[in-house]
Copies of this chain bind each other. A is one copy, B any other.
Amino acid sequence: MPVRTYIEAIRETLREEMRRDASVIVLGEDVGKKGGVFLATDGLYDEFGEGRVIDTPLTESLIIGASIGVSVNGLRPVPEIQFADFIFPAFNQIVSEAARMRYRSNGTFSCPMTIRAPFGGGVHGALYHSQSVEAFFTHVPGLKVVVPSTPYDARGLLRSSIRDDDPVLFFEHKKLYRSVRGEVPDSDYSVPLGRANITRPGTQVTIVAYGLMAHYALEAAELVEADGISAEVIDVRTLRPLDTETLLDSVKKTGKAVIVYEDNRFGGYGAEIAALLAEEAFDYLDGPVTRVAGPEVPGVPYSHGLEDWFMVDPDRIAEAVRRLAAY
């Protein structure tokens, strides 16, 4: 099977979907000739032309607002927000408009679109090029939120997202773009939205993570194996709608859960998972649902030392797993 990087998987899937379906268009800042600042759309402009690969002005609200109109009038836009940090000017269009179009029109209008945005820290991007923004959107009914962590899932989930009839936020972790490779079949497979993935089976502690942290969780599971602890790792993959069944089944089995997210802890996405497990798996819990998350500062600082201080890493996860296993 061909081996691809995470970003190659995304780029090729965009190309294939555009070939397959003439209604798919790409728009955003620098997505044309430059091919996107991370080259996720590289080559699309040459192949599909400026009619379907549109370099927009530097205006995020327009990118999403126009995508809403485009989707209402028969096309399937795949807007790119250059960095997830810059999605906020479009917040109103996403939350007030795209998310509610179907509900408020009683099912008569809809916005099939896939908003792609690179997110996450550990790339020396400082406060405004490192953010995790998923918690702002996972709370919103009407939206779907996807965070793939492998090239295989990136492709399979991007396919499902583009073909989905609802607005999807598709967050790609910047640090994974070139650092992760994996087998990606050439077939037209897709990974359904709403299904978590058990990436490592185990019996004593469940580690729940997504994005970069899904990798760190696996590394942490290796680390604690040396201590004789068997950890099960779940990559959430789709944050909304959440695959509660897979999570609950795992925690009912292990009795213990560590939830990992890169974002600051308070009110982050992991809070919902913790709340869910605490409520619905209470009888099975043999220890507190434990969160490992970022510190309560407004962003990832730039200086190397400060950034390292911010980022959750495999050691911190392993430490929490050990503590919980010993509970």
Contacts and interface: CB of A to CB of B under 8 A. Distances in A.
A100 B264 CA distance: 14
Contacts of A267: 135, 138-139, 240, 269, 271-272
The count of identical subunits is: 2
Contact of A278 (B99, B100, B128, B275): B275
Interface string A251-284: 0000000000000101111111011011110110
Contact of A141 (B89, B139, B282, B296): B296
Interface residues of A, number: 48
Contact of A298 (B89, B138, B140, B272): B140
Interface string A108-134: 000000000000000000011000000
Given A128-B96, A288-B282, A142 B271 contact: no
Interface majority SS on A: helix, strand, loop or mixed?
Answer: helix
Interface string A71-98: 0000000000000010011011001100
- Going nearest first, the 8 A-B pairs with the smallest beta carbon separation are A278-B278, A139-B267, A282-B288, A274-B275, A88-B92, A91-B91, A271-B275, A142-B298
Interface of A: 85, 88-89, 91-92, 95-96, 99-100, 103-104, 127-128, 135-136, 138-142, 240, 242, 264, 266-272, 274-275, 277-280, 282-283, 285, 287-291, 296-299
